Structure 1
Amino acid sequence: MRFKPLLITVTATTALLSLTGCGGGDNPTLGGIGGDSVATGGDNAYNGTGDGGPNEGTLDNPTKNGGVNGNAPKDGTAFQKLPKAATMAAAARFVNGFTDCDPIRAIPLDSGEPSTGPDQKFLKSAAVIERGTCGSRGRTSIYMIKDAKAFQTAFKAEVAAQQGGNRNSGIVIGQDFAMGSESSDAMSSLLTPQAGLLMLNCHEGFTPPSGYRKEPALVKGCVLTDYYVD
C-alpha cells in the first residue's frame, strides 16, 4: 500500500501514496481509499448525529465536545496550531466547510479488500484508528489518528518506498486526522489560511517557491507546507 500523493490506488504498492496525490479518475472514492460498497452507503454509513450535535466541528461551533480546534493552542509549533477534530464527525464537518464532504461513510479497519486502500500493516504502523470516505461520490478520505508522530513516520516510509512520485505532493493533515482526495481542488481548499490545515510532505529535496510555508514536521525528513501542485 502506498500513499501516492493523494490518490490511493488498489494495489499494495501504490494505495497509500495515491491518497495524497489526486488527479481525478473513475475511482469514486477519496484517493481511491474506499470501495464502491462504501461509497454507496450501507450499514457502516455514519448518520452524522449522536456525538455532539450537528454543529460540532464547524466554524460556527469549533470546540463543542472537543470538536475541531478544541485543544489547539494559540501559541506553539506549526503542528500544534493545526486543527484538532477528536471525532470523525467533527473532522468531516470541518472539511465540508471548504470542500464537499457529506455524507461521511465508514470503512472498517479490518476490511481485507484491496479496493479499500491502505493495508493493515500500514494502518497499524500509522496508528490509524478510524477511516472513512465522504462527498457525493466518496472522493475524499479521512483518517483519524491516535499517534501523530507514528503516522508521520509511517507516511515517510511509504514515500521513500515509492522511489519517485510527485515531489510537490503529500497528504493534508490536522493534529489528529488526515485527509486525501481524488480532487486537487479539494486538497488545495484545505491548505488555505481560512482552513488552516497543512500538507505533510516527506519528499527529499522538497523546496516550495518563496512565500509558501515550510515548517518542521514531527519527524526528520518531513515538512509541513501550504504548497501543493498535482
Structure 2
Amino acid sequence: MHTRNTTVIASAAVVAALLTLTACGGGENPTVGGIGSGAEAGSGTGTDGGPHEGTLENPTKNGGVNGSAPKDGTAFQKLPKAGTMAAAARFINGYTPCDPVSPKPKNGGPSSGPDTKFGPAFSVTETGYCGRRGITTIVLIKDPKAFQTAFKAETDAKSGGNPNQGIVVGQDFAMGSESSDAMSALLRPQAGLLMLNCHPNFNPPSGFRKEPALVKGCVLTDYYED
C-alpha cells in the first residue's frame, strides 16, 4: 500500500512506523488455525512452538491462531488469536508474504511517521517486521480493549483523514503494511481478520460488515479503501 495516517506501535519510534503503515487495508472464522481449546495439541505459551505453531497441526497451548475462538461468539471473539509473534507471522504469511519476521525492519525501515505517536496506553508487548514488496508491521497486544480505546483516541485527535481506513486486527495482534495488497488479503473471508475503524464518518456500502468493537465509536469491518 501507500503510506497513510493509521498505525500502531509500543515505543515512540516503532509506533510511528506502524501508524504510517496501517493506513493501507473479515469474514467468518479463519480456515487456518486450531480447533477446540488448543490445550489438546499445544506447545508452550509465549515461546516458539515449532514450524507449525499457529496452524491446525500445532495450535499452541494457549489456543494458537484462532484455537479457542467460539463458533457462536461475537465478531471480536471469532477473530484469530496468535499468542506469539511466530504464530502471528505464520498466520499472516498464509495470505500475504511475511517470512521471515524480524524484530527490526530491513534496511532500517521507516524512521518517521505522523507527529502523534502511540505510547504505553496501546498495550503493545512485542513488534515484528516482515514483507517483501513493502514493510508489514505486526504488534502483539496484551489488552485488546486498551488498544482499541487508545486507537480511537488517536483517531479522534486527528482532523479529517480517510474514513475508510483503519488497522487490521486479531484478538491479540494487529498489523499494518506499506502494501495495500497485503492489507486487502487479510480482510478476505478466508483469513478471517477484520479492520478496526474508529472514524466517525465511516459508512461502508451495503453488504459489508460493520460489527461492534470493544469500545463505543469503533467497529470491526471487512471494508477498506485506500
Instruction: Specify if TM > 0.5.
Output: yes
Match of 1:184 among 180, 183, 186: 180
1:98 and 2:95 aligned: yes
* 1:12–1:190 CA distance, 2 compared to 1 (3 A): closer
What SS class does the counterpart of residue 92 from structure 1 fall into? helix
- After superposition, what is the alpha-carbon deviation per residue over 1:132-160, rounded to whole angstroms, capped at 9, x for unaligned? 11123661000000000000011111111
Residue in 2 that maps onto 1:122: 118
Residue in 2 that maps onto 1:156: 152
Within 5 Å, give how 1:166-181 maps onto structure 2. Answer: 166-181=162-177
Contact 1:7/1:182 (CA < 8 Å) preserved in 2? Answer: no
Of 149-158 and 66-75, deviating more is 66-75
List runs of 5+ in structure 2 lacking aligned partners: 26-46
- Higher normalized contact order (CA 8 Å, seq sep 6+, divided by chain length): 2
Residue in 2 that maps onto 1:5: 6
Match of 1:209 among 201, 205, 215: 205
* 1:93–1:13 CA distance, 2 compared to 1 (3 A): closer
Contact 1:5/1:20 (CA < 8 Å) preserved in 2? Answer: yes
Of 160-169 and 220-229, deviating more is 160-169
1:18 and 2:5 aligned: no
Give the number of aligned pairs.
196
Of 217-226 and 13-22, deviating more is 13-22
Residue in 1 that maps onto 2:34: none
Identity across the alignment (%): 69
* 1:153–1:135 CA distance, 2 compared to 1 (3 A): same
Residue in 2 that maps onto 1:33: none
Residue in 2 that maps onto 1:29: none
List runs of 5+ in structure 1 lacking aligned partners: 24-49
* 1:209–1:137 CA distance, 2 compared to 1 (3 A): closer
Contact 1:6/1:22 (CA < 8 Å) preserved in 2? Answer: no
Match of 2:52 among 55, 60, 63: 55
* 1:89–1:12 CA distance, 2 compared to 1 (3 A): closer
How far off its partner does 1:72 sit? 1.5
* 1:193–1:13 CA distance, 2 compared to 1 (3 A): closer
* 1:138–1:15 CA distance, 2 compared to 1 (3 A): closer
Within 5 Å, give how 1:20-59 maps onto structure 2. Answer: 20-22=22-24, 51-58=48-55
Contact 2:138/2:174 (CA < 8 Å) preserved in 1? Answer: yes
- After superposition, what is the alpha-carbon deviation per residue over 1:181-212, rounded to whole angstroms, capped at 9, x for unaligned? 00111001001110000000000021110110
Residue in 1 that maps onto 2:139: 143
What's the TM-score once normalised by structure 2's chain length? Answer: 0.77
Within 5 Å, give how 1:218-229 maps onto structure 2. Answer: 218-229=214-225
* 1:64–1:117 CA distance, 2 compared to 1 (3 A): farther
Match of 1:89 among 86, 91, 107: 86
What SS class does the counterpart of residue 122 from structure 1 fall into? coil
- Structure 1 counterpart of 2:180, which letter? S
2: CA distance between counterparts of 1:103 and 1:15?
19
